Every structure is written in C-alpha cells, then in structure tokens.
C-alpha cells in the first residue's frame, strides 16, 4: 500500500502538475485513511470496499471533523481510486456508491476597522522579529493577497518608491497592487533594519524570512497570526485569510469598484468577489432593520 501511495503522489506531481498545497492535502487525507485501514488489518487496496470507506467517513464525523474536511477527503478518495483503476490495481471503485458530503458554506469572517488596527499594533517594533511581523501583517491587509503569495514575494516584487507590489509578473496574470503609506513604511523598516539581521545568505531573494534566515513557512505565519490574535484578545477565529477577506469587504464598503477589487485579489470570476458585496448588503439590511425608527417588523 505504501508503494502505491508514493507512486500516486509522484503521479500528481509529475503528470498532473498538482500544486504543493493540494498535494499536501491529498497526502494528509490518504495517510489518515491508511492509519484507519491498519486498525482493520487491511494491507491491500483491493480489500477496501464501500462499507469500509463509509465506516471511515463516519469515523471522521464522530471525530467532529468539519463538513468541508470530510468533503475534501471524499474528493481525495475519488481521485485516488480513479488512479488505482487506471493502473489496474483495483477492479472496482468503492467510491461509486458513496454520496458526497453536503458542505454548508459559511460567510467569510470579516474584521472591523478597530479590530484590524488592534491586531496590527500587536508586534513589538523595537525587536527584529516584531518589525518583520508588523510588515507582514500590514502588507497582507494593504494588498489582500493570499498568504501563499505573501510568503513567495521576492525583493524584486516590491517598489517602495512608488508604493506597490507586483504579483505574477512572469505570466499573463500580472497584478499590480498599491500599498498604503503605513504598509510602505513598515516594509522599509523591515528591509533596512530587520531583514539584514535575519538573512544568512546574501543570495536569498525571498522577502520575508524566519529567525533561521530561511523563507517563512505557511505554518510559521499561521502561528504568528494566531499569537497576535490572542495577544489582542480578539475573539474571532482569525487566520491569514481573514485579513484578505477584510481587505475586500472594507474596500467595497468604502465605495471601491467591484471589478478593481476582483483584479487586485486575483479572482478569476467576479462571482468570487460578489460574496463580499452580498455580505455587506446583508449587514446593511440588518443594521437598517435594527436602527431605523420606521423599520418595524410586520405584526409589531
């Protein structure tokens, strides 16, 4: 089973061109399934039937895994068993009769302006690490880029004189995103004062580095955000994506054109951006119903 698992992962990387994040999800889902199969003394993929997989997915529910996590795991198994069929490792697909998990879409978590300010004030800018953290949080909120894009930024992607970052400038999806002055100031402090102390290799071009002089990892940045959320005593479940959501919602709330927001966020479809507009519409309606003296409910 282990060899088949490794071959499948290699297939995803070399033949399918699967992204690193998606590959990591597949690996995590399959490893979890393999641990479950070991408890059932199953040592061959051909021994796995729909009853066993149903029991496995039920175990995820009992473990209080989210609907989204279970749905993703099911997608992983469908992809995996298509591969097994194509390689004639199995003759039947046990996922055929298993219905997909209906995932309830939750609205994105949005911070208030005060909550953003509180979070951004947490890093101690008297320290090397604090200067870096301040710059990372400011850039994320100023630009609305994805956490993975933030961590992949190179020094050459930053223009501090004019105040913008350039994304994907090596392909057709180039995005130029302006930065507000406080973000530019935070970046200047980091590049001039903090990064030289962190950088162990003069040839390193990645913008944000950890304390070992290596590019900051997703896990490291996630912990960083969680730590400052706790320090700020903000009760919302804040992740790096929360600042991206807040960027979009706050721009639209203050009158930005939705197509410009779409382009800055790198959305392929305007429908992805409309989620924030719908969220704001619901917010305004709720506020109106609670605050307007004539907006009484029927029957009152």
Q: Are residues 172 and 247 in the same domain?
A: yes
Q: Are residues 273 and 171 in the same domain?
A: yes
Looking at beta carbons, which pairs linking 275-278 to residues 24 or more positions away fall under 8 Å?
275/107, 275/108, 276/108, 276/245, 276/248, 276/249, 276/252, 277/252
Give the number of other CB atoms < 10 A from CB of residue 12: 19
**Angstrom distance (rounded) from CA 156 to CA 164:** 11
pLDDT at 102: 55
pLDDT tens by residue, 84-109: 888 888 888 888 877 765 545 567 78
> Which of 38, 68, 86 is the endpoint of a domain?
86
Range with the lowest mean pLDDT among 11-20, 135-144, 213-222, 283-292? 283-292
220 inside domain:
yes
pLDDT tens by residue, 197-216: 999 888 999 999 999 999 99
pLDDT tens by residue, 236-252: 888 888 999 999 888 88
- Whichever domain contains 276, its CATH number is 1.10.443.10
55 inside domain:
yes
Q: Are residues 193 and 76 in the same domain?
A: no
108 inside domain:
no
Domain count for the chain: 2
180 inside domain:
yes
Q: Are residues 120 and 232 in the same domain?
A: yes
- Whichever domain contains 49, its CATH number is 1.10.150.130
120 inside domain:
yes
The structure tokens listed for 287 are: 């506020």
261 inside domain:
yes
pLDDT at 252: 87
- Strands (DSSP E) along the chain, which ranges? 158-159, 164-167, 175-178
The structure tokens listed for 57 are: 């997915």
Q: Are residues 80 and 124 in the same domain?
A: no
**Angstrom distance (rounded) from CA 200 to CA 116:** 32
222 inside domain:
yes
Range with the lowest mean pLDDT among 107-111, 113-117, 172-176, 192-196? 172-176
106 inside domain:
no
Range with the lowest mean pLDDT among 140-144, 164-168, 296-300? 296-300
Q: Are residues 131 and 212 in the same domain?
A: yes
pLDDT at 49: 86
pTM: predicted TM-score of the whole model, two decimal places: 0.64
Q: Which domain range does residue 194 map to?
A: 113-288
> Which of 36, 69, 86 is the endpoint of a domain?
86
């Amino acid at each position: 089973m282990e060899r088949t698992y490794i071959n499948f992962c290699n297939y995803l990387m070399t033949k399918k061109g699967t992204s690193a994040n998606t590959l990591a999800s597949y690996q995590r889902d399959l490893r979890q399934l393999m641990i479950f199969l070991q408890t059932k003394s199953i040592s061959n993929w051909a021994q796995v039937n729909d009853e066993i997989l149903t029991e496995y997915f039920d175990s995820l529910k009992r473990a209080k895994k989210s609907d989204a996590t279970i749905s993703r795991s099911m997608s992983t198994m469908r992809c995996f068993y298509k591969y097994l069929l194509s390689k004639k490792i199995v003759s039947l697909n046990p996922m055929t009769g298993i219905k997909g998990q209906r995932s309830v879409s939750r609205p994105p978590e949005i911070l208030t302006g005060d909550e953003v300010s509180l979070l951004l004030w947490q890093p101690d800018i008297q320290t090397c690490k604090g200067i870096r953290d301040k710059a990372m949080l400011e850039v994320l909120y100023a630009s609305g880029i994805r956490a993975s894009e933030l961590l992949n930024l190179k020094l050459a992607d930053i223009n501090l004189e004019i105040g913008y970052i350039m994304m994907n400038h090596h392909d057709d999806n180039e995005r130029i995103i302006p930065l507000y002055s406080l973000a530019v100031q935070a970046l200047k402090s980091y590049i001039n004062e903090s990064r030289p102390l962190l950088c162990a290799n003069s040839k390193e071009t990645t913008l944000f580095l950890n304390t070992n002089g290596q590019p900051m990892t997703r896990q490291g940045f996630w912990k960083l955000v969680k730590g400052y959320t706790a320090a700020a005593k903000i009760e919302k479940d804040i992740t790096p994506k929360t600042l991206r959501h807040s960027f979009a919602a706050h721009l639209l709330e203050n009158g930005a054109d939705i197509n410009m927001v779409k382009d800055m966020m790198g959305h392929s479809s305007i429908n992805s951006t409309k989620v924030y507009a719908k969220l704001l519409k619901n917010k305004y309606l709720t506020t109106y119903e609670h605050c307007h003296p004539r907006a009484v409910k029927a029957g009152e």
